[in-house]
Amino acid sequence: MSQIEVAERSAQAAARPAGRARTRDILGAYVSLTKPRIIELLLITTVPAMFLAQRGIPPLGLVAVTMIGGFLAAASANVFNCVLDRDIDQRMRRTRRRPMPRHQVTPSNAVIFGGILGIAATAVLWIGANPLSAVLALLANAFYVFVYTLWLKRSSSQNVVWGGIAGCFPPLIGWTAVTDSVALTPILLFAIVFFWTPPHTWALAFRYRDDYAAAGVPMLPVVMDAPRVAVRILLYSVVTVAVSLAVWPVAGTGWLYPAVAGAAGAIFLAEAVALLVRARRGRRDAALKPMRLFHWSNSYLALVFLAAAIDPVIFG
């Protein structure tokens, strides 16, 4: 074998791993555009609503279809959000490593990708569940993209209050996938997520207040002092817990759901009160410890909806 052939084969061998690495990077960038961590939270509120609607274990095929359709729908909305917010993400330390600021995916390709995901989500839910669930998913996506991303996020300190409505649809979608109708129980589940969203998001905004200020996003902790924001967090937390307990008599659950919702809610409120105390003492930044409330709010929502799923399996 000549030296030239040896050199060519060495170059080809070196290029193969590089090519595979580049493919993984590209695929990883597209996956990152969908914000999988956020989708996980949305699915947590979808499936329990199906168990509650069924008063037991729903058909597993329907659960799988609804999860797939819901995943694709949320992924589509998140991709469009990444495209529209790429200028904001570029200016924030928390988000500047996302694919769009790093130019790993072109805006046109991302739009095509988001459109394909949205069409697939509609088809999956329409055929596999029912048209009502598909329409609700489309409505949630349109609200997230056009109302929250394009309008409220950049213009109002109440952006996450009303813009958060988009994230409240998964329980409705899960319920309608089973029943093909809307009732008071899924509306209460919708309301839990609605009132939960502001304290959850404002706690995170405390942590990244400087980032949001630099990007020109008027999150409440950017435009209002910490004690007043903490008061609002506590008020929304109180209403969240109250609505979660209202599900008990309306849905007619057993004792498990109110026990879990009550215990988890008590910790949620304790964290909100502790945040208010620290804010009134003049604590700022890390000393304010807003991430304690943020992380517990995730656990709170998961526990409440998990109890909503398990309770009907035990008590029917």
Residue extents of the structural domains in the chain: 14-315
pLDDT at residue 213 greater than cutoff 80: yes
Q: Are 129 and 178 in contact (CB under 8 A)?
A: no
Q: What is the mean pLDDT of residues 194-219?
A: 94
Nearby residues of 232 by Cβ (< 8 Å), 6 or more positions away: 198, 199, 202, 220
CATH C-level class of 14-315: mainly alpha
pLDDT band with cut points at 50, 70 and 90 for residue 15:
very low
Per the structure block, which two tokens stand in for 48? Answer: 């329990």
Q: Say if residue 1's pLDDT is above 90.
A: no
Burial (CB < 10 A; 0-12, 13-18, 19+), residue 207, is middle
Is pTM beyond 0.75? Reply is: yes
